[in-house]
Amino acid sequence: MATQIVMDHTGDTRHHFDANDREAVARAEERFRKLTGAGFTAAVRTATGDAALTRSFDPTAEETLFFPRLIGG
């Protein structure tokens, strides 16, 4: 199962989907587009465990993390 993790006021919300389920993948891709379109940054973990930014939906990514755009504090 792949997971999309979206940071929010609850801590995070997790959306799990089966990468072999075409409908679920389509919904996940739509979610990716909506979030990145709204200014969220998407990051995945590489094989070495490092974080890497991703600008396109990757259905094979085990975990994709989304966080809101950065602002100065």
The footprint of other proteins (CB under 8 A) covers 5, 7-12, 39, 41, 43, 45, 49-53, 65, 67-73
Q: How far is the CB of 9 from other proteins (least distance, A)?
A: 5
List the beta bridge partners of residue 53: 43
**Please, which residue, 23 or 55, has the CB nearer to other proteins?**
55
**Please, which residue, 20 or 56, has the CB nearer to other proteins?**
56
Side-chain-facing half-sphere of 12: CA atoms under 13 Å? 13
Exposed/middle/buried for 67, CB within 10 Å: 0-12, 13-18, 19+?
middle
